[in-house]
Amino acid sequence: MIQVKRGIARLSVVAGVVALGGFSLSACATTEYVDQHIAEVNTHLSAVDAKATAADQKADQALAAAQAAQAAAAQANQRIDSLSATIQSAPPRPPRG
């Protein structure tokens, strides 16, 4: 009877070790698995980087267009100011008619 209990205890220990070993081995990732997932992440990062670069280029183009528009508006304002000064300094003309 004691030997049967010892055999069952040993069998329980062996089963526990086998189960624990199986669980620990199933949690290990192979190099191929890791490389595959890193490649997927790198592909995704490359796509996001390309989109960010394109957005940055569009922002630079918009900034250049805005600066050109600002310069044109400043030039137009200077022309209007000079015309206003010319009109104000001109002597009044009698009405036609």
Q: What pLDDT is attached to residue 1?
A: 55
* Residue ranges covered by each domain of the chain: 29-83
Task: Write the pLDDT tens digit of every residue in 58-97.
Answer: 999 999 999 999 999 999 999 999 988 888 887 878 888 6
**Confidence (pTM):** 0.52
Task: Write the pLDDT tens digit of every residue in 35-46.
Answer: 999 999 999 999
pLDDT higher than 90, residue 5: no
Sign of CA dihedral 39, 41, 44, 50: negative
Q: What pLDDT is attached to residue 94?
A: 81
CA distance 14 to 22: 12
